[in-house]
Amino acid sequence: MSSCFVGGCALESVVHSTATRTCKAHMISRFYPKSARTFGDRASYKQRSVSRRSATTMSGQNGNYEYDLFVIGAGSGGVRASRIAATHGAKVAVAEESKYGGTCVNVGCVPKKLFVYGSHYPEYLEEAKAFGWDMSVQNLDWPRLVENKNKEISRLNGIYGNILGRAGVEIIDGTATLKDEHTVAVGDKTYSAETILVATGGWPKVPDFQGREHVITSNEVFFLPDVPKRFLIVGGGYIAVEFANVFHGYGSKVTQLYRGDLFLRGFDGDVRMSLRDQMIGRGIDVKFNTDVEKIEKEDDGTLKVTLRDGGILEVDQVMYATGRAPKSRGIGLEEVGVELGANGQIKVDEWGKTNIPNIYAIGDVTDRIQLTPVALAEGHCFADTLYGNKPRNVNYEYIPTAVFSNPVIGTCGLTEEEAREKYKEVDIYKADFKPMKHTLTGMGERTFMKLIVERETQKVVGCHILEPAAGEIIQLVGVAMKAGATKQNFDETIGVHPTAAEEMVTMRTKEPEPAVAEAAAVSN
């Protein structure tokens, strides 16, 4: 959940009413233009892919189908599966009606991280005063940022097209629909394949309520014409938390609304509470245990938001980040007999196979772990297993990930709550300190680190970090945890000084058991 939202193939109709159709159509068209003008010269990619295909492909040997593999969706997972299968000698086609790279490249991980970078500059300039630099923030040129972001995304779209073309994958523009177990229709043409892989990703969900037509989602937020002065973000997941911090950095007066007690459900409790306190300390208005009742648009464009607890908010923009649903509807899955779950997810086994033996699925459409690197791994394993004579599947234990809040969260393995439920006894180690930089700046930011150790084996089963470099640190911690590192391995590692990361190998004092800690708190 890099903290990323992985995506795939087709555009769904998400415009909620005539009132906002024109505005949303303008923003969405910049991400989802007509396939004939999606980007660059798509014909060149297709020509390149056709010329690179071998005359002795697998389909050529069995002669039963046009393709060995037909992939629906050229997002991260679909592109990886297509490319690897083709390099193994399979004859592969991929259908995509939008831009290559899916959500991650176009309206997810990549543009989000670019926005995250930019949101920190006012803070950096303020901190610089303590180090002798007198600098001031001039006016923000938001359209310039959006334009530069668009250029970079277009460059990446082209790279994805080239990757497919060089591998010999045939690119087919348009929305793909299953007609039977081995046949896919795109437009007025049909294609047959021995195996079909569905990699259509996910799509933002907005609940039904009065005024939902006035809200945007993570699809549209990257194309806003300017920075909202008053911005309401609804949701408690990582997407909501990230954008609350991003737009606060760009100068918006941000309110984040969540219906539960505390955001980031499923993350470690200490990290959640520490981030909450630091966000509030930075000036973000975080409201828990409430939700939106209705939204009304005033004559001047102001959005009047009535909350279920009776409160009223007046804002310029409302973004909903209340979850994502698998993009499985309307592409023929149910008609062919592919089994779907209650949330629309495609049910698969550990190899990505559905109940139809030759139809597979990977990535967010399976609603397992919604992370771009996971989709990439699933696509690679799929291709190696079916076409590379290297059967393997993804091990979902100890997947490091990051939430690009401020500070950043890095996490891998079990939370303390999960570890206490799974193991008989665990040891907890914590570090909470002011970063060296802020001993001069006087800023209130703090770094928090936590190791969770199974007592019997002394194996590190959980690591949680709140610190600007947490995303970088947790990647290597993930390697150590995947290798089965123990607390002794951490203790015997020499720290890099002076860094925040050295705290990972210098924590020695165990936290008291919960019952002991509670008793001590009562006595005090």
Instruction: Tell me if 237 is assigned to a ligand binding site.
Output: yes
Beta-carbon count within 10 A of 107 CB = 26
Residue 90 annotated in ligand binding = no
Of residues 360, 261, 263, 255, the one with CA closest to residue 312: 255
Is 113 labelled a binding residue?
A: yes
Q: Using CA atoms, how far apart are residues 398 and 394, in angstroms rounded to an integer?
A: 11
Cβ atoms of 259 and 230 within 8 Å: the answer is no
235 marked as binding residue: yes
- Tell me: is residue 236 an annotated ligand-binding position: yes
Two tokens, residue 232 = 């309401």
> Is 40 labelled a binding residue?
no
Q: Is 464 a catalytic residue?
A: no
What amino acid is encoded at 62 in this protein? N
Cβ pair 212, 297 in contact under 8 A? no
Preceding amide of 435 cis, omega within 30: no
Greatest CA span in the chain, whole angstroms? 80
Q: Using CA atoms in the order 49, 52, 53, 54, what is the torsion angle rounded to 10 degrees?
A: 180
Q: Check the annotation: does 470 bind a ligand.
A: no
Q: How far apart are CA 111 and CA 102, in angstroms?
A: 12
**Is 444 part of any known ligand binding site?**
no
For 122-141, the DSSP string reads: HHHHHHHGGGT---------
The answer to the question of whether 495 is labelled as a binding residue is no
Q: How far apart are CA 173 and CA 175, in angstroms?
A: 7
The verdict on whether residue 442 carries a ligand-binding annotation is: no
- Is 325 annotated to bind a ligand? Reply is no
Among residues 88, 120, 380, 497, which one is catalytic? 497
| Binding site as annotated, residues for FAD | 113, 364
User: Would you please indicate which residues are annotated as catalytic (active-site) residues?
Assistant: 497
| Binding site as annotated, residues | 113, 235-242, 323, 364
| Binding site as annotated, residues for NAD(+) | 235-242, 323
